[in-house]
Amino acid sequence: MKILKWLLAIIFFHPVMISVIILTLMIPFMIYGDIKGILIHEVPVSEGSLIMLSFCGFFVYLALRSSFLGIPYRKITILLPMLQMVIYTSLALAAAFMIINKWADQGLYSKGWAITLALLAIVVIRLLMSLLYWKYPIVQRKGEH
């Protein structure tokens, strides 16, 4: 059973996770480029970023929850918290992307309101991320527990 678990991790999970790490680090730049393109050309763009974000989030979740699969990623102590922060930032940008895309597609509100609502969505998600890490810090201080 242990050999099967190691083979599964070495053959499937870790090669996929390496590509997930690279893709996760690129997602915010891809979403930002889509937002910039929508604002410049005023034409809606298809929404594929949430699918990629969900895929990457699932593999990061597996690495966090499984003590066996997450061993190499816990050795590099900054990697998993950095991936979490990048996923939260990408989620904020995806929310802004959906708001701006809705403006470009259906014209529900003006361009100024779309930008304001998008920035407000980014700020709210960043504040929620700050609250999460304030309540559950990445590094526990010795005097707290």
Q: What is the mean pLDDT of residues 13-29?
A: 93
> 30: burial class by Cβ within 10 Å (0-12, 13-18, 19+)?
middle
CA 15 – CA 142 distance, rounded (Å):
36
Distance CA 96, CA 118 (A): 4
Could you tell me the pTM of the whole model? 0.86
pLDDT interval class at 4 (50, 70, 90): confident
What digits encode the pLDDT tens for the residues 91-122?
A: 999 999 999 999 999 988 899 999 999 999 99
Distance, CA of 69 to CA of 107 (rounded, Å) = 46
Q: With contact defined as beta carbons under 8 Å apart, do 105 and 44 qualify?
A: yes
Which run of H or of E encompasses 26? helix 14-41
Q: What are 29's two structure tokens?
A: 């730049």
The span from the CA of 139 to the CA of 145, in Å, is: 12
Local confidence band at 35 (pLDDT 50, 70, 90 cut-offs): very high
pLDDT, one tens digit per residue, over 36-95 is 999 999 999 887 788 999 999 999 999 889 888 888 888 888 888 899 999 999 999 999
Give the C-alpha separation, 92 to 133, whole Å: 16
Q: Which residues contact 28 (CB under 8 A, 6 or more apart)?
A: 86, 89, 90, 93
Q: What is the pLDDT of residue 80?
A: 85
